[in-house]
Structure 1
Amino acid sequence: MIRPGLTFKLSVLLACIGVLASGATGYYAYRANRTMLVNQAGHSLLTSTELLGQRFAASIDDVGADALVLATMPFSASVAQTDDGHGANPAREWLAQVYSSFMVHHPEYLQIRLITRQHYGLELIRFDRDVDGLVRVEGQKLQEKGQFAYVFETLAFAPGRIYTSPILVNHEYGTHGAEGKPTLRLGTPVGDANGTVVGVVVIDIDLAGMLKRLQSDLPSDYQVYLANEWGDFLVHPDVSKTFGFDRGRRVLMQDSFSVTKPLFEQTQSEVLVNGLADPRQAAGQVLAFVRRPFGGSEGNRYMVLGLAKPLDDVLSGANLLGNRIIRMVLVFSGLAVLLAILFARALTKPLHLLAYAATHLFAEHAMNTLPLKRTDEIGVLARCFDRLRREIKAQMDALHAKQRELVHLATHDVLTGLPNRMLFMQKLESAIEEAARRDERLAVLFVDLDRFKQINDQFGHAVGDKVLVAVARRLKQVLCAADVVARLGGDEFIVLIAGARVSEAAPGIASRIMDVLNETLLMDGHSMTVGASIGISQFPDDSGTAEELLHNADAAMYAAKSGGRCAYLSYQEVLEARRREQAEELERAAFAGARAGEGATEGREAEPTA
């Protein structure tokens, strides 16, 4: 199976990077555009809602101003005081013409009435609106309205104040075209020259007509929501959800849109939400709600107005952009693949040369193929590789030197530089094998310094270390090049002598060692004599193994030290001394036994005589 090479892998990697980069850029641009469009739509909706609310409040204020104008018209107070609504009265007729003119110029007005305080709030002037136009109600058709809140509450106001009723469905009898319509009533007192309230002027407003006129310049895809201060929908795209309180089934804005609860709690004045960021609150829509007071401060009236726009309409531009981004990503991805292949080939060609040089690291002909003359990063890499090759060779040489140094440290005493016990035993075993093969002899001299402990205790370890170095130097001066001297540890040294001269040379060498170590040493201004006791063992007389030879030489050294310091003994002399001691012990035992036997004979001979 052929494994893909570096060129193929690099081409795939670069192509993936290019495709991912273009795709991520396109996706980010698409997402950012969607978010920007939704945010812009939300701010636009919020602005439109604010403006619509301001216009609605301003329109209501204009109605209140019209009511004040009508209440302060000449003859208004006199008509309200003296007329009972029956018979001809020039002043009342003149006022009726004015009321009719206001109705003509304000198509959203459903009714304008002048109601007297007398006669249980009897209507004196009343104009209604019907499908055929204006209708003036006169004579017996005029009604008493004193029991309605918009009459008795307005009569309790001082002249110049405006009463604003809740927004309700008009169910009053005989209201012509106003019956069954959402209605807002504004009233103002009519006062005489003394400021006494003698009647009220009431204007009924067609709420739906007013909103329709105010929202005429809004985009057609905007949906309008309006709720009173309790949250009842007054305007809703679904008409069946409006004025639920009038049909016994209340539909509240804060239940349909929970984000509007702070508006009714009067903790916020506006809310903006969209289906892109919060699909649970505004599924498929962008919504803006504002709380807007109206009618001045009387009754603390306010409404919650909302505008909605379908999210699909908002994101239509983003969807077009997304299609263009997809085409752009496909084009750039194809271009990225092509460029990746070309770039990978251009990049991997010199890398193949570097790889060949790496597999033939110390071959000079491989270095000739390196692109050393290039001035780009590949040339820098090639020159660095060549320099690295030379440094590796130098490092390898240094490493071999370090290895030799480590081997030396592992097999030699750090203080004196002499071979340690491990190296000495290796050399001894090799010497034993060589001597056995050649039928030769060898000797081991165990050297123990006699007064080193006193020197250490008296002058300190630093002087003691210098003494050991001086002893090692003197030992090497005494021995020839073929001999081996090692430090076993502490103040113990060991010497290996091989060759035909062993039998005659070993005692002489031991004697010279003792002489040279008995010479005075001068260390840091102090004179001292070390001295040594030496034990000698020989191969093959004393043993055939390295450990036993060392042990026997040690035993001979202790025998020499116990017999008196600054002496040497061979292991054979130690054995001979032991044999003599054993023979003497046997003689003394035999002599003692003979004496005991003679005493017993003499006793037996004397016994008969007695």
Structure 2
Amino acid sequence: MFRRGLTFKLSVLFAFIGVLASGATGYYAYHANRTMLVNEAERSLLTSTELLGQRISVSIDDVAADALVLASMPSSAQVAQTDDGIGPDAGRERLALVYSSFMLHHPEYLQVRLITRQHYGLELIRFDRDRDGIVRVAGNDLQEKAQFSYVFETLAFSPGRIYTSPIGVNHEYSTHAAQGRPTLRIGTPIADERGRVVGVVVIDIDLAGMLRRLQSDLPSDYQVYLANEWGDFLVHPDASQTFGFDRGRRVLMQDSFPVTRPLFEQKQTAVLVNGLTRPRQAGGHVLTFVRRPFGGSDGNRFIVLGLAKPLEDVLSGAHQLGTRIIRMVLVFSALSVLLAILFARALTKPLHQLAYAATHLFAAHAMHTLPLKRTDEIGVLARCFERLRGEIRAQMDALRSKQSDLEYLATHDVLTGLPNRMLFMRKLERAIDDARRGREELAVLFVDLDRFKQINDQFGHSVGDKVLVAVARRLRDVLDAGDVVARLGGDEFIVLIEGARAAQVMPAIATRIMDALNETLTLDGNSMTVGASIGISEFPHDSGNAEELLLNADAAMYAAKSGGRCAYLRYRDLLAARLREQAEAAEAAARAGVAEVRAATDARDASDAADADEGREAEPTA
């Protein structure tokens, strides 16, 4: 009893020391890590907010530069001074082409207009954007705009100044896609050669589209806030909170986020707040807000831009660390208890059980011996071990799954999903062995697309890739489930037909393949016909080797292609044709040889006869 009590006291003491040390260390590491992550997130958000604000300013300056370019064109002043604002004019049409080009190259532009001072601010050139593209508004559809501030205020500016409107919802009628959307207007005067303002150029910007473009490289979990100088939300993750003044109610940033009041009172230029230190004001987020000038030429105007990131996302790494710290504390506590009561005979059996389970990690019977039901530290250790085993098994299963994916990628074509050359040759060799044992036949069809290069050159590689996918789908549809179709590369496909059906390859199956690939294919609005030439080799007639069967089918395909596209040819027919050609050539050579012999004989006989005649003529003379 005395020894048992001392063992218990020592185990409690060591356990307390171990838990206290590991817990204090873990708590300090966890707390420091949380603070560090939040501070880093604040700095990152502040940098991103300032960068986004700079991008907005630069984008507005770019629009202003475009407006100045359009206003400074001599033809703009000439068109603005025309008395007839409706009738056709060659100069106006040339200038309209320039305006149309600006709309084409700036998808965030909703409207570009030239408005004359005359005729109550009549629009002379106007381009709108709708769902289908760019719309030219002309004739009687042109409107008078002198009553709008962006016209009469801009007309009061000196040449070269930029008018920047407040951001609001466009309620002008007949504005196509711009109607009802958050809009920012940039305007600048048009001056004649004497410096008199004769009209204005106005560009309407899609605020939402511009912000989407500017924040496209921000992390997806960032939330964007934008308010005008009065605090009205212009951009908010909840669209119902934006442009409240347009619906008869005010939704202010300083009410939703009281920490931003110094920004609107112009006492500060930036505010940082997080839900870790100020949970009531941050609402489970890390937030940064900056104040930036807006429309500098129109006085002391500004916008307040904010970015937010969920605190849960920021602290995800800390949570993982906390989980590991908890595991570390539990394991260390259990180990402390085990070391403290190492001399106790009652614990020798559980220790042996743990050791056996550790040496037989994936043996199911070993896990049954673990003391999982114990409520002391040994039980905690056993349950932790069981969870660890489950995690290891899950990771190994994940590794096996990834290995399976890698094997699939190694044996299949990425574009079409068909087997590649390596897998096809493996299947072909296995099929040859099976056919040899069963004394059966098989056929290999080498399919080469006829017009793929022209399609690639005419429509581009993206359409070419779609053509290959469509060809693969048609080949699978034409063939039976037991047939094998693979892509060797480029526009070359290979088909394996096994069993009794192999005898039907020519002409039935080859004809079906050619018919399927000769059908018109429509991709991206373009109609095209691919066509194919097919070479056929058969086992065992043409070869008993996989590589030779493939080469023979390739040779037959090239012979079919050279004889005319969209045709098929068996290798045995190719060999027969070559033998016939050789026989005909040999026969022709033999006939030529006989003719040469006869000609030589006739020539020799004629020569002998001539010599004899010369001898007879010479005898009387003697």
TM-score by length of 2: 0.53
Give CA-to-partner distance per residue, 1:49-106, whole Å, 9 cap, x none.
Answer: 1111111111001000000000001211121112432222221111110000000000
* Equivalent position of 2:146 in the other structure: 146
Question: What residue identity is the alignment partner of 1:243?
Answer: F
Q: Secondary structure at the match of 1:102?
A: helix
Residues 147-546 of structure 1 correspond to what in structure 2 (within 5 A)?
147-339=147-339
Indicate the residue corresponding to 1:66 in structure 2.
Answer: 66
Percent of pairs with identical residues: 81
2-side partners of 1:113 and 1:120: how far apart? 15
Write the distance in 1 (CA, Å) between the matches of 2:299 and 2:52.
22
Measure the CA separation in 1 of the matches of 2:166 and 2:81: 28
Helix, strand or coil at the partner of 1:271: strand
Confirm or deny: 8 A CA contact 1:270 1:290 kept in the other structure.
Answer: yes
Q: CA–CA distance in 1 between the matches of 2:163 and 2:297?
A: 9
Match of 1:34 in 2: 34
Tell me the secondary structure at the aligned position of residue 231 of structure 2: coil
Residues 295 and 301 in structure 1, CA contact (< 8 A), matched pair in contact too: yes
Residue 275 of structure 2 contacts residue 285 of structure 2 at CA under 8 Å; is this kept in 1? yes
Query: Using a 3 Å threshold, how does the CA distance of structure 1 residues 121 and 54 change in structure 2: closer, same or farther?
Result: same
**In 1, Cα distance between the equivalents of 2:8 and 2:224?**
61
Amino acid at match of 1:54: Q
- CA-CA distance at 1:121 after TM superposition: 1.1
**Local SS of the residue matching 1:120:** helix
- 1:17 counterpart = 2:17: yes
What is the DSSP-based 3-state SS (H/G/I as helix, E as strand, rest coil) of the residue aligned with 1:267?
coil
Cα offsets for 1:322-349 (capped at 9, x unmatched): 1111111122223334555689xxxxxx
Alignment match, 2:562 = none
> Structure 1's 84 and 340: CA in aligned 2 closer, same or farther, altered over 3 A?
farther
Displacement of 1:202 after TM fit? 0.5
3-state SS in 2 of match to 1:119:
helix
1:365 — aligned with what? none
For the residues of structure 2 that align with 1:238 and 1:12, how far apart are their CA atoms? 55
CA displacement at 1:248 relative to structure 2: 0.4
Q: Deviations over 1:21-71 (max 9, x none)?
A: 111101111111111112111211111111111111110010000000000
- What CA distance in whole angstroms lies between the structure 2 residues aligned with 1:27 and 1:149? 61
| Matched residue type, 2:23 | G
The whole-number CA distance in structure 1 between the counterparts of 2:83 and 2:118 is 10
Equivalent pair of 2:109/2:203 in contact (CA under 8 Å): yes
Quote how far apart the aligned CAs of 1:13 are: 3.5
Distance 1:266 1:208 in 2: 26
Query: Is the contact made by 1:85 and 1:138 (CA closer than 8 Å) also made in structure 2?
Result: no
Shift of 1:6: 7.8
Equivalent residues of 1:84, 1:124 under 8 A apart: no
Q: Which runs of 4+ in 1 moved over 6 A?
A: 1-8
Is the 8 Å Cα contact of residues 162 and 297 (structure 2) preserved in structure 1?
A: no
CA-CA distance at 1:177 after TM superposition:
1.1
The equivalent of 1:86 in structure 2 is 86
Q: Residue 121 of structure 2 aligns with which residue?
A: 121
Sort the Cα spacing of 1:84 and 1:266 in 2 relative to 1 into closer, same or farther, 3 A.
farther
3-state DSSP of counterpart to 1:204: strand
Letter in 1 for 2:248: G
User: Which residue number in structure 2 is paired with residue 528 of structure 1?
Assistant: none
Mapped contact 1:164–1:299 kept (Cα < 8 A): no
SS of aligned partner of 2:282: coil
The aligned counterpart of 1:436 is: none
Query: Where does structure 1 lack aligned partners over 5 or more consecutive residues?
Result: 344-610
- Quick one: distance in 2 between partners of 1:110 and 1:97? 16
The separation in 2 between residues aligned to 1:12 and 1:144, in whole angstroms, is 90
Q: Tell me the amino acid that sits aligned with residue 319 of structure 1.
A: H
The offset of 1:301, in angstroms, is 2.9
Displacement, 1:231? 0.8
1:211 deviation in Å?
Answer: 0.6
Q: CA deviation at 1:159?
A: 0.4
How many angstroms apart in 1 are the aligned matches of 2:307 and 2:254? Answer: 15
8 Å CA contact retained: 1:57, 1:295: no
Q: Work out whether 1:130 is the aligned partner of 2:153.
A: no
Q: Distance in 1 between matches of 2:184 and 2:299?
A: 13
Q: Is the 8 A contact 1:231 1:252 kept in 2?
A: yes
What is the identity, as a one-letter code, of the residue corresponding to 2:208?
A
Do the aligned partners of 2:11 and 2:336 also contact (CA within 8 Å) in 1? no
For 1:26 and 1:228, locate their aligned partners in 2 and report how far apart those are by CA, in whole Å.
46
Distance apart, 1:115 and its partner CA: 0.8
Aligned residues of 2:41 and 2:286 also touching (Cα < 8 A): yes
Instruction: String of CA shifts for 1:289-331, please: whole Å, max 9, x gaps.
Output: 1112233332433211111111111111111111111111122
Counterpart for residue 387 of structure 2: none
Kept in 1, the 8 Å contact 2:110–2:204? The answer is yes
Deviation at 1:7, TM superposition (A): 7.8
Cα deviation 1:353-403 (Å, max 9, x = unaligned): xxxxxxxxxxxxxxxxxxxxxxxxxxxxxxxxxxxxxxxxxxxxxxxxxxx
Summarize the alignment of residues 553-564 of structure 1 with structure 2, pairs less than 5 Å apart. none
Higher radius of gyration, 1 or 2 = 1
Please give the per-residue CA displacement for 1:149-201, whole angstroms capped at 9, x wherever unaligned. Answer: 11111111110010000001000121111110101001001111121111110
AA partner of residue 143 (structure 2): Q
AA aligned to 1:227 is: A
- Deviation string, structure 1 residues 227-255 (Cα, Å, up to 9, x no partner): 11111111111111111100001111110
Structure 1 stretch displaced more, 66-75 or 42-51: 42-51
CA separation in 1, counterparts of 2:210 and 2:246? 20
- Which residue number in structure 2 is paired with residue 353 of structure 1? none
Contact 1:189 1:200 in 2 (8 A): yes
CA contact (8 A) 1:224 1:237 kept: yes
Query: What is aligned with 2:619?
Result: none
List per-residue Cα deviations over 1:116-166 (Å, max 9, x = no partner). Answer: 111111111111111121111112111111111111111111100100000
Question: Per the alignment, in what secondary structure is the counterpart of residue 75 of structure 1?
Answer: helix
TM-score, normalised to structure 1, is 0.54
* Kept after mapping to 2: 8 A contact 1:41/1:286: yes
Please tell me whether the aligned partners of residues 100 and 127 of structure 1 are also in contact (alpha carbons under 8 angstroms): yes
Q: Deviations over 1:408-456 (max 9, x none)?
A: xxxxxxxxxxxxxxxxxxxxxxxxxxxxxxxxxxxxxxxxxxxxxxxxx
User: What's the secondary structure of 1:290's corresponding residue?
Assistant: strand
Quote how far apart the aligned CAs of 1:264 are: 0.9
Which amino acid letter does the alignment assign opposite residue 149 of structure 2? A
Post-superposition offset of 1:10:
5.9
Match of 1:281, SS? Answer: helix
Work out whether residues 80 and 117 of structure 1, in 8 Å CA contact, stay in contact via their aligned partners in 2.
yes
- The 8 Å contact of residues 183 and 206 in structure 1, kept in 2 or not, is answered as yes
Cα distance in 2 for partners of 1:102, 1:317 equals 47
Query: What are the superposed Cα offsets for residues 236-289 of structure 1, whole Å, 9 maximum, x if unpaired?
Result: 111111111000011111100111111111111111111111110112111111
Aligned counterparts of 1:174 and 1:83: Cα–Cα separation in 2: 25
Amino acid at match of 1:166: P
Are residues 1:49 and 2:49 paired? yes
